[in-house]
Amino acid sequence: MFDKIEDKWKEEREREELTHIDEAFYGAMREFLRKRTIRVKEEINPLTKKLLEAKLNRVRYVLNDLLKIRTAKIIQMVVNKKEIEVKLSREEIDFYDRISKIYDIYKIEVFSPKDAAYTDISSIIGDETDEESEEEIEYVAIKFVKSTKEKIHGLDGQIYGPFEPEDVCLLPKENAIGLVRREIAQNIELKIDK
């Protein structure tokens, strides 16, 4: 297994583009590390133990460097809006998807900070706990005092806007808070006659 890992590492270092990787690569790598670590712990001969530790450290170095190289290439793909054209592991596909979503939000907040509502990244990338995902989203009514040029990505997955002054909208509470804090909108009370 170490030869495969080292070959993949060398190939990744030599090429500018992201290379193909087996879907199960990281699973096999974790299992390989687990077995090697156990083998080192169980070894009683001090000389053999030292040699096994040196090999394990080499494997860890190669894997860490491989991960850094591949991570940088995936981030470059996201920044350059390149689609995945090679086979990746499921961990890397998830990483690419999450980084893409985060980068899109980042660009919105950088280029139109007054128009973009605060967005909770964890809800977009799917990291909320089961308890949070089962909760209903709370909505509040707000009245816009400034126009917005960009659309707002709601925590409920909906797209809102753009808005003009005096427009009223029911938004997820977290999005509304961001707009009110930036003085783009005002909170309004809804009175419902019974």
Domain 2-87: top CATH class: mainly alpha
* pTM, to two decimals: 0.58
Q: Which two tokens stand for residue 100?
A: 């893409």
Least confident stretch, 10-19, 59-68, 122-131:
122-131
What is the C-alpha to C-alpha distance for residues 39 and 48, in angstroms, rounded to an integer?
10
Domain ranges of the chain: 2-87, 112-187
Spatial contact of 89 and 21, defined as CB atoms under 8 Å apart: yes
What is the C-alpha to C-alpha distance for residues 5 and 60, in angstroms, rounded to an integer?
10
pLDDT of 100-114, one tens digit each? 888 887 777 766 655
Spatial contact of 77 and 84, defined as CB atoms under 8 Å apart: yes
What pLDDT shows up at residue 132?
Answer: 47
Instruction: Tell me the fold of 112-187.
Output: Ribosomal Protein L9; domain 1 (3.40.5)
What pLDDT shows up at residue 113?
Answer: 52
What is the C-alpha to C-alpha distance for residues 143 and 139, in angstroms, rounded to an integer?
13
**Fold match between 2-87 and 112-187?**
no
127 Cβ contact list (under 8 Å, min separation 6): none
Instruction: Work out the pLDDT band at 130, boundaries 50, 70, 90.
Output: very low
Question: In three state form, how does the secondary structure of 104-151 look?
Answer: HHHHHHHHCCCCCCCCCHHHHHCCCCHHHHHCCCCEEEEEECCCCCCC
Spatial contact of 74 and 99, defined as CB atoms under 8 Å apart: yes
Q: In 10 A of CB 61, how many CB atoms?
A: 11
Q: What is the mean pLDDT of the chain?
A: 82
